[in-house]
A and B are shown apart, each in its own frame.
Chain A
Amino acid sequence: MDFFVQQLVNGLTLGSLYALLALGYSIVYGVLGLLNFAQGEVYMVGAFIGFGVLSGLGGPTALVMPVPFALLLMFTAAALGSGVLSVTIERVAFKPLRDSSRIAPLITALGVSVFLQNAVLLLLGPDIRNYDASSFIPFTSGIHAGPLNVSLIRIIVIVTTVAVMIALTLWVGRSKLGRSMRAVSYDREAAQMIGVDVDRTIMIAFFVGGVLAGIAGVMAGLVFSRVFQLMGFVAGLKAFTGAVIGGIGSIPGAMLGGMLVGLAESFTAAYISSTFQNVIVFAVLVVMMVVRPTGLLGRPAVSKV
């Protein structure tokens, strides 16, 4: 039982990162019908921004301010930085292609992804940066009951993710911007006709996607310590898998899908073998594409007439 709960926590931590990233895929897909494969790299840049702030504040062992403030600053800077990066990507790489064939922006997205990896490689070098989070959030803090060990870092990650999800759901459901986003997602042309500023809405969708990726990036740094220029690639793929499994375009779907991918990885390692982690995750994706292409919570795309 303890083992199961431990693995549940492991899976939820990983799932939190995937879910936040998957939300970015889903929101952008919902509004624009575009798979933004650069999402994983925005996450990577977010992780580096968080690391930059951490170093600027004295580094992991000599923080110049109380830890909660430092964390807040790291998250805020990474969220804003990644948000702005994401909007820039939209302006430079996707907007000019908005009315071209649907495959063109997909290829651009991959191009942007390779560009960002190499830009970071050239600017910052290939060395792995280490958040070393256990120096300022010790492993001994958190819940330790017998064989069950849940460090405070994991609690922070899971709680933050849930909070972000609730905030996002409320925002999309109730705010004016949220409404215009849903309107654009439902029918871009009709939304434009009734006076929704489509450009602005798309920009905001990208910004929100970037913010979520930035938050996920800092979380990854806190939990997994290591930050390097290729870290976004696999994470991005797994999150994309989560978004598709949950039903791409659907916000609750992305949350569910991301969590499911994290749990699937964790439980595969726990009860089968970690050899099969990736095999199982991507096999689930393939089966899902065949059996239920709209995903668990997605709606079929035929409703547009």
Chain B
Amino acid sequence: MSLRTQGRASGRRVTARALMLGGVVAALALIAAGCGGDDSSSEAAGTTTSGSSSGKPCDASIGVLTVLTGAAGPQGREMLHWAQLAVDQFNEENGTDIKVVEGDDQLDPAQAATVAQEWASNPKIVAVVGPESDGTVDSAGPILGKAGLAMVSSTATSVRLTDGKYPTFYRVIPPDSLQGSQDAEYMIDTLKVKKVFVIDDQSAYSKGIADVVVPKLKDADVDVSTDSVSQNNTDYSALVSKIADDTDVVFLPWMLAANAQLFGDQMAEQGKKAAIFGSDGVFSPQDFHVDGSYLSTFSPDIQSDSKYDDLVKEFEDRYGQFGAFGLTTYPATQVVLEAVKKACDEGSSTPDVDAVAENVKNTNIEESVLGQPIEFESNGEMKDAKFYVYTIKDGKYEIAPS
């Protein structure tokens, strides 16, 4: 067995080859592991937020499961900040002592499952805000669902998430089918496109939207070509070269805004004139600012509505400037908080997971930053949820003309 017992010369040959094969195996294993590399797993302790101690005690924690590190980290941390703000305001108003537990899934389904396992066996955690993406709902959903934990997502948009597989899944935003069809309609009716290049990013989210958009465009006699590209790529120049000069729109239903920015830069480099149309994943004023682009999002523009000045100011004082990806986490967290408090009011100071889930189901919030009441359909979809199309002018996001 031992290579050492062999002759020196042949031993070297064998070990060199074995080593190289070992290297290749290790390399491929690492790719399989999702190119995550780092592994900062969640802490059950998390960030503690405390409020005044008056009112009926309510001693519970809610998990916020999202991506906190990696390329999409900025968006995920913005979500976390909105959740923290909602919790702090709620505690102060109601004298509760509800805590936030952070869970970093690195946008990686495997990592999300690990965090979900941890939370499913943690009796302190009574409900979850998140998960943030379709892929992570698919992996964490069954685990959290089995533990009876309600999940209220503010960003996962796949149609299939509400087909009954995850009975405790709710979301405060519309599904991709709506986004895909609204985007396609906008391109056809308002932009009057003739030729569109659709490039998905190989994620479940991205393919879901592309699958809705492509047939709709084709039905309207638009010349559609498609391709897909890995999120780990750092170079899109080969793909950019493929964009035909008479292309009107390059549709990028991507998860990472920074990648779309690189794509836009490389288009500029090669003198391509087509407009980029991005989905909500690309909607991020910090990371994506290609002039003339269009973006769809489920997040209303609260910064230009004076009604929300106080809220905007409070957020900015604490965390600085924000994009639009995190905002919906604020109402999602409110849904969970109301449900937890109701369970506390009706039962013990340590609420029961099932009671919280039942309360989430019966949510009835009259006013929200979404500009509409929050109530859920029986499958977990929010009633009358909407999408908005934005455009970028001189680096600024504004509502696009319809």
Contact = CB atoms under 8 A, between A and B. Distances in A.
Interface of A: 3, 6-7, 10-11, 13-14, 33, 35, 37, 102-103, 106, 110, 113-114, 117-118, 121, 126-128, 134, 139, 144, 147, 149, 151, 153, 220, 223-226, 228-231, 233-235, 237, 240-241, 244, 248, 265-270, 273-275, 277-278, 282, 285-286, 289, 293, 300-302, 304-305
Contacts of B27: 37, 237, 240-241
Closest 4 CB pairs of A and B: A269-B238, A126-B73, A10-B237, A266-B238
Contacts of B269: 134, 139, 149, 151, 153
Interface stretch (B11-19, B128-136, B156-164, B274-282): B11-19
Contact of A149 (B23, B31, B270, B287): B270
Interface stretch (B209-217, B227-235, B335-343, B393-401): B227-235
B268 A126 contact: no
Given A11-B238, A134-B269, A128 B227 contact: no
Nearest to B232: A234
Contact of B230 (A231, A233, A277, A285): A277
Contacts of A231: 234
B365 interface: no
A123 to B, nearest CB: 13
B16 A33 contact: yes
A233 B265 contact: no
B227 A273 contact: yes
A300 B73 CA distance: 46
A35 B24 CA distance: 10
B204 interface: no
Contacts of A114: 37-39
A289 B28 CA distance: 13
B12 A117 contact: no
Interface string B80-115: 000000000000000000000000000000000000
Given A106-B23, A285-B24, A274 B265 contact: no
Contacts of B227: 269, 273-275
Given A147-B245, A289-B20, A230 B38 contact: yes
Nearest to A240: B27
A11 B40 CA distance: 35
Nearest to A125: B73
B69 interface: yes
A225 B21 contact: no
Nearest to A3: B241
Contacts of B369: none
A121 B37 CA distance: 11
19 contacts: A6-B241, A7-B241, A10-B238, A13-B235, A13-B237, A37-B23, A106-B23, A118-B38, A121-B38, A128-B287, A226-B262, A228-B70, A230-B35, A234-B234, A266-B237, A274-B238, A275-B202, A275-B229, A285-B24
A229 B38 contact: yes
Nearest to B287: A128
A278 B232 CA distance: 10
A235 B10 CA distance: 33
Contact of B30 (A126, A144, A237): A237
A260 to B, nearest CB: 15
A269 B242 contact: yes
Contacts of A293: 17, 20
Interface in B229-276: 229-230, 232-239, 241-242, 245, 258, 261-262, 265, 268-271
B136 to A, nearest CB: 17
Interface of B: 9-10, 12-13, 15-17, 19-24, 26-28, 30-31, 35-40, 68-71, 73-74, 77, 202, 227-230, 232-239, 241-242, 245, 258, 261-262, 265, 268-271, 287
Q: Is the interface of B mostly helix, strand, loop or mixed?
A: helix
A151 B23 CA distance: 36
Given A3-B241, A224-B234, 12 more contacts: A114-B39, A117-B37, A128-B71, A128-B74, A153-B269, A226-B261, A230-B35, A233-B30, A237-B31, A265-B238, A274-B230, A275-B202
Contacts of A149: 269-271
Contacts of A226: 234, 258, 261-262
Contacts of A277: 229-230, 233
A270 B227 CA distance: 10
A126 B69 contact: yes
Nearest to A279: B230
Contacts of B19: 33, 35, 102-103, 106
Given A102-B15, A128-B287, A278 B230 contact: yes
A59 B26 CA distance: 39
Contacts of B229: 269, 274-275, 277
Query: Which has the most chain A C-beta neighbours within 10 Å: B12, B22, B77, B235?
Result: B235
Contacts of A275: 202, 227-230
A199 to B, nearest CB: 21
A220 B238 contact: no
A267 B70 CA distance: 29
A273 B71 contact: no
Given A113-B37, A134-B265, A289-B21, A274 B233 contact: yes
B6 to A, nearest CB: 13
B271 A144 contact: yes
B22 A106 contact: yes
A59 B245 CA distance: 33
A10 B35 contact: no
Contact of A235 (B39, B73, B234): B234
A280 to B, nearest CB: 12
Contacts of A127: 73-74
A54 to B, nearest CB: 16
A289 B24 contact: yes
A178 B359 CA distance: 73
A76 B129 CA distance: 47
A42 B268 CA distance: 30
Contacts of A126: 68-70, 73-74, 77
A151 B9 CA distance: 51
A229 B265 CA distance: 21
A220 B258 contact: no
